[in-house]
Amino acid sequence: MNTTNNTSKLVILGLMTGILLLMAYTPLGYLNIGPLAITFNVIPVAIAAITLGPAGGAAIGAVFGMTSFLQCIGIGGSSAMGAMLFSINPFLAFVQRFVPRMLDGLLLGYIFQFVRRRTDAYMASLVTGFCSAFLNTVFFMTALVVLFGNTEYMQGLIGGKNIILFVCGFVGINAVCEMVSSTILTGAVGAALYRAKFVPALEKSRG
């Protein structure tokens, strides 16, 4: 039984890794609407957290973080901001790109388990999907401001604004669209996987 369960987890882990890499390195992971670029790459991280728990979420989050960092050096795409941050401090650029995504996946596993004990799988998946995009944005922007906020590059972007106003203006409607899409898609996929028994059943807590 344990062997079958472990095999199933490895299959899901490999599948989510493959899907994330496909989305990260093809237009499938992004929806470009005029100047907007909305990413769906947070969704495989959420699905991994739902099906595999905190460790699985962290693993796929780490894959997401690595693909994001590699774009700083032009591998699998390019990021103008990432390239600039890499030129300022390669190590801090790695931390800023990698750690928030891995931490996001780790926490999503706990969030799903916590909510699942108090409601059904569909609602727990919806909450996890929302948190996937929300926490990704919060952690990414927090790391950006903390690690690079005093650099000339970031000071130029901030332009003397209040830091909260800068963050809200910087992420803009992109973050809102990502949260909506991640919530809806993760909710649907998570509920389907639960019905297919790919999600471990949890007993609701009493009292």
Higher pLDDT: 88 or 31? It is: 88
Higher pLDDT: 4 or 188? It is: 188
pLDDT-derived band at 158, boundaries 50, 70, 90: confident
Determine, yes or no, domain membership for 7.
yes
Determine, yes or no, domain membership for 76.
yes
Q: In sequence order, which ranges of the chain are alpha helices (DSSP H)?
A: 2-24, 42-70, 80-88, 90-116, 121-148, 152-158, 163-195
Determine, yes or no, domain membership for 31.
yes
pLDDT of residue 18: 95
Determine, yes or no, domain membership for 180.
yes
pLDDT of residue 65: 95
Q: Using one digit for the tens of pLDDT, what is the confidence trace for 140-155?
A: 999 999 999 889 988 8
DSSP at 61: H
Determine, yes or no, domain membership for 201.
no
Q: Using one digit for the tens of pLDDT, what is the confidence trace for 95-121?
A: 999 999 999 999 999 999 999 999 999
Full residue range of the structural domain in which residue 74 is found: 2-195
Determine, yes or no, domain membership for 204.
no
pLDDT of residue 207: 41
Separation of alpha carbons 30 and 34, rounded Å: 12
Determine, yes or no, domain membership for 207.
no
pLDDT-derived band at 206, boundaries 50, 70, 90: very low
Q: How far is CA 123 from each of CA 16, 127, 165, 191, 199, rounded to the nearest angstrom?
A: 21, 6, 31, 8, 14
Q: Using one digit for the tens of pLDDT, what is the confidence trace for 162-187?
A: 777 877 777 778 888 899 999 999 99
pLDDT of residue 121: 92
Is the pLDDT at 6 greater than 70? The verdict is yes
Q: Using one digit for the tens of pLDDT, what is the confidence trace for 18-74?
A: 999 998 888 788 775 554 567 889 999 999 999 999 999 999 999 999 999 998 998
Determine, yes or no, domain membership for 140.
yes
Kindly report the CATH number assigned to the domain that includes residue 95. 1.10.1760.20
pLDDT of residue 204: 47
